[in-house]
Amino acid sequence: MRHDGRQNSELRKVDIQTNYLIHPEGSVLITFGQTKVIVNATVEESVPPFLKGTETGWVTAEYSMLPRATHTRNRRESAKGKLTGRTMEIQRLIGRSLRSIIDLSILGERSIVIDCDVIQADGGTRTASITGAYVALQLAINKMLADQVISTDPIIDELAAISVGRTAENGIVLDLDYIEDSAAEVDMNVVMTGSGQLIEVQGTGEEATFSRQELNEMLDTAEIGIRHLIQLQHQAISQTKNKQSVSPSNKKEIIIATRNQGKAQEFEAIFSEKGYTIKTLLDYPELEDVEETGTTFEENARLKAETIAETLNTLVLSDDSGLKVDALNGQPGVYSARYAGEDKRDAANNAKLLHELTDVKTEDRTAQFHCTLVLAQPGKESLVVSGELEGLIGTIPQGENGFGYDPLFILPELNESLAEQTPETKNKISHRRRAIEALMEVFDQWIEEEA
Ligand SMILES: O=c1nc[nH]c2c1ncn2[C@H]1C[C@H](O)[C@@H](COP(=O)(O)OP(=O)(O)OP(=O)(O)O)O1
Ligand SMILES: [Mg+2]
């Protein structure tokens, strides 16, 4: 048993408070148990001399500890007049780690300076600094995106760091506090990206040696911690962003509560014409799926939009759509996605539809694609609009474009399926386009209404 009751691969209580200070472009207070670090990101319109004229940016870090961050007072380095070797080593590590997950050419000739100030030290201050620095960096980048200083996010991977070690009583343990760290036989800091790439491993047999197998075990334990930290970073970042985007005057970004890739592409194309960027739930992998328990498109669209709007505390749009076939009394309707089973496979759904319509004549195979959109914001009555497209159900799937039932949905005037149309054509005529146009007519007025 660890002295604080934790499991061996359990983190201390981690908290990431964003917008901690008001002046920096990105600001975070990150705590790991009793370790507390303030991490601020500053955007500067200049680069070090060796990068002048290269159109490449720079990210660098400084690290420091307040005198009473430690048990006994440690003199300020400013009073001593020079940085200790430990400080130099840590700030280089932080800068190097951040530079390995950012495309500096997208940043342009600008620098982002990350200041890590430890206000209380109880083990793991460098790993807390790196983990907090990723959040502060992303917040500063998000501000640059919102202010249209840059148009693409230069961050190419996630980043977090954690300590692992081996103690005599407990073997391999994650996230050592000061008590464990000072007694540890082996001590290791691991910096890793979200895609599982290692950036740095600093491992030392302080009091004893360790085997190759133990090294692997320590890396596995570190990876568990890092995965968890990345989830917490995402939550912190998405909640901050959304606080800002509730205000309509802020950057034009809409979060769409869908995990359907086909829909996401169509929304992206249609909204970009209107000057909006979109995010979907594919950008929020940590959020749970909303169960579609309703019996109408509107009920399900409300469930999706209102649940996610509450969770993220922001403006959210959802789409519930489907195919209504007249010969089947409007089926599959709201059950379109799950027509042939919970795994929601398009091919199986199409096959089942063809089977159900085996003996139905061409003129009786009329159908409509339906799309209901719901726009929701916490504390406000949601906005509901819809759009439909008329067609006929074909007898064999045709075409490669689109998604869902598109290969079976024949446009009578063209005698071609929707899947045979280019995305541009589909997006001009689809049920989704019609619903979005209806939405746009009332969008601004709804946004301005008091909650
Ligand atoms: O333009 C379309 N072209 C072809 N098929 C379409 C279309 N629009 C909706 N559909 C079909 C796909 C799916 O079988 C069902 C939607 O079900 P629906 O619950 O709204 O979406 P979903 O579960 O795939 O994603 P999500 O709920 O995360 O938005 O209707
Ligand atoms: Mg669904």
Per-residue pLDDT tens over the stretch 124-162: 999 999 999 999 999 999 999 988 899 899 999 999 999
Decide yes or no: CATH 3.30.230.70 for domain 14-245: yes
Instruction: Give, using CA atoms, the residue closest to atom 30 of ligand 1.
Output: 322
For ligand 1, the distance from its centroid to the CA atom of residue 363, given in whole angstroms, is 25
How high is the pLDDT of residue 388?
A: 98
- Every domain range in the chain assigned CATH 3.90.950.10: 253-448
CA of 398 to the centre of ligand 2 (A): 24
Per-residue pLDDT of 35-57, as tens digits, reads: 999 999 999 999 999 999 999 99
**What does the pLDDT average to over 243-256?**
60
253-448 fold = Maf protein (3.90.950)
Closest C-alpha residue for ligand 1 atom 10: 322
pTM to 2 decimal places: 0.54
Ligand 1 neighbours (beta carbon < 6 A) = 258-260, 263, 292, 319-322, 336-337, 344, 349, 369, 402-406, 430, 432
Q: Rounded to the nearest whole angstrom, what is the distance from the C-alpha of residue 217 to the centroid of ligand 1?
A: 43
Cβ partners under 8 Å of residue 226, min gap 6:
160, 161, 162, 190, 192
Which residue puts its alpha carbon closest to atom 25 of ligand 1?
Answer: 260
| DSSP strand pairing (198-205 vs 35-44) | unpaired
CB 116 within 8 Å of CB 133? yes
Measured in angstroms, how far is the CA atom of residue 258 from the centroid of ligand 2? 7
Percent of the chain with pLDDT over 90: 90
Q: Is the ipTM of this complex over 0.90?
A: yes
Residue nearest to atom 23 of ligand 1 (CA): 337
Q: Clarify whether 320 is annotated catalytic.
A: yes
3-state secondary structure of 129: helix
Residues of the chain with CATH 3.30.230.70: 14-245
Can you tell me whether residue 12 is helix, strand or coil? coil
**Does 406 show up as a binding residue in the annotation?**
yes
216 is in an annotated binding site: no
Determine what percent of the chain is predicted with pLDDT higher than 70.
97
Beta carbons of 175 and 167 less than 8 angstroms apart: no
Best of 287, 405, 409 to mutate for ligand 1, by most ligand atoms within 8 A of CB? 405
Q: Among residues 320, 326, 346, 359, which one is catalytic?
A: 320
Structure tokens at 372: 């209901």
Q: Can you list the alpha helix ranges (DSSP code H) found in 1-124?
A: 77-80, 85-99, 104-107
Ligand with an atom nearest the CA of residue 304? 1
The DSSP letter of residue 408 is: G
Q: What 3-state DSSP class applies to 403?
A: coil
CA distance 189 to 225: 12
